[in-house]
Amino acid sequence: MKVFPQAAERRARLLPLRLPRRILRLGAAGAGERPGVWATVRLDRRTKKLTKRLQPGEIAVIDHVDLDRVSAEALVSCQAAAVINAAPSISGRYPNMGPQILLEAGIPLIDDVGPEIFTKLSEGETVRVSGGAVLRGDEVIAQGIEQTPESVEAALTAAKAGLADQIEAFAANTMEYIRRERELLIDGVGVPDVATPIEGRHALIVVRGYHYREDIATLRPYIREYRPVLIGVDGGADALLEAGYRPDMIVGDMDSVSDEALTCGAELVVHAYRDGRAPGLKRVKELGLDAVIFPATATSEDIAMLLADDKGASLIVAVGTHANMEEFLDKGRAGMASTFLTRLRVGSKLVDAKGVSRLYRSRISGGSLLLLVLGAFIAMTVAVLVSPTGEVIWPLLAERWHAFLFWLTGLLT
């Protein structure tokens, strides 16, 4: 098998999630040794909703043009047996990394089978995936393209050639966003009042995005010392709970956050459309909770940053957010233009979690600490021996030591 270039770090990170071959081939022996992957299917046009109920060894059926890295890593974490995509996983608009991540984890990817797959399959039924075909018994119910490392690499190479067009479109979206949201960006008009005290404090904004688990783990000493305001963006609230922290505030559409997080006591800020419509508010009300409404065309992670900045946060630390052009495009929507401008507005207050962990990491090695403790012990021992008090304490210590040796000898004999 061909190996993708510059992927060693990602392979090492995903290696513990790689599926055993016995799971991938589950059911083949009982089906007359017919080739392919036999498993139960789970269907959802929204990948992030599907991953909430996808069980290890099941086949994921999605409809996801330009499968992004975060969605692919979520499918790998769920240990999908295979992925069937109704849409092209690489459309050629830009070099998205999702298909590559699935194949590196050993998960077969059947691409572009068509939207009819959602009417032909039922949730929970067992199908077989072989080559580019999806079969019910021996009946072919859908036909797609089985991606390989070679085909994905060729598609990514072709997509890189058109990257300039995507950057131009990104710039055009950015100008349109400036026109619509100049009052919010320049003067903070429209930022709602919140009850959570933020003035003068650090704010830690967690998005369930790239490497969020690793970033939170490295920030534990920072969180313990500075006690920042913990702001979860949708599923980022669950990421904080998973790490053992309770979010102070939850910001977002409320479509990818659990009921447990919503009812944990955090202040809720529902992201609404510019006209005031807030689809996520219905769910909040059904739980009997109150929420603050924040109308904006920006993404949820951006309004969290704008809120923290407007309310006087002295430093904003971002976990799992989008930080470079590849990640902006990988998000796959025009609204990501707001991310670039939000970072201009927040300015020097914003620090990526990886930068904080590198700056905050202790320079004292374990060996140095051991030598320090040993030196302190020797100094205390010498002080006791040469002092008048030592003449009294030393015989007592010697007596205790001999008693310990006598007890130990009794055990051995």
What is the per-residue pLDDT for 355? 59
Q: Is the pLDDT of residue 167 over 80?
A: no
Prediction pTM value:
0.60
What is the per-residue pLDDT for 18? 45
| CB neighbour list of residue 196: distance below 8 Å, 6 or more residues apart | 229, 248, 249, 267
The CATH T-level fold of domain 163-360 is Rossmann fold (3.40.50)
Least confident residue range of 44-48, 285-289, 356-360: 356-360
More confidently predicted of 299 and 72: 72
Helix (H, G, I), strand (E, B) or coil at 133: strand
More confidently predicted of 5 and 269: 269
What is the per-residue pLDDT for 22? 36
Residues of the chain with CATH 3.40.50: 163-360
* Per-residue pLDDT reduced to its tens digit, 91-139: 887 788 899 999 999 999 999 999 999 999 999 999 999 989 999 988 9
Q: Is the pLDDT of residue 259 over 90?
A: yes
Report the alpha-carbon distance of residue 164 to residue 372 in Å, rounded.
Answer: 57
| Mean pLDDT rounded to a whole number for the chain | 80
Report the alpha-carbon distance of residue 118 to residue 43 in Å, rounded.
Answer: 7
Q: Is the pLDDT of residue 49 over 90?
A: no
CA distances from 153 to 11, 148, 371 (A): 16, 8, 52
Q: Is the pLDDT of residue 183 over 80?
A: no
What is the per-residue pLDDT for 378? 74
Q: How many CB atoms lie within 10 A of CB 55?
A: 12
Please compute the mean of the pLDDT values over residues 377-398 and round it to a whole number. 66
Q: Is the pLDDT of residue 20 over 80?
A: no
Q: Is the pLDDT of residue 340 over 50?
A: yes
Contact 132, 112 (CB under 8 A): no
Contact 275, 295 (CB under 8 A): yes
What is the per-residue pLDDT for 331? 55
Please compute the mean of the pLDDT values over residues 382-389 and round it to a whole number. 65
Please compute the mean of the pLDDT values over residues 349-358 and round it to a whole number. 72
What are the residues facing 160 on neighbouring strands? none
| CB neighbour list of residue 24: distance below 8 Å, 6 or more residues apart | 37, 81, 82, 106, 107, 108
Q: CATH class for domain 8-160?
A: alpha beta
Residues of the chain with CATH 3.50.30.10: 8-160
What is the per-residue pLDDT for 64? 92
What is the per-residue pLDDT for 357? 53
Percent of the chain with pLDDT over 90: 43
The pair of three-digit structure tokens given for residue 123, joined into one six-digit string = 């949730």
Phi and psi at residue 196, in whole multiples of 5°? -65, 125
Q: Is the pLDDT of residue 295 over 70?
A: yes
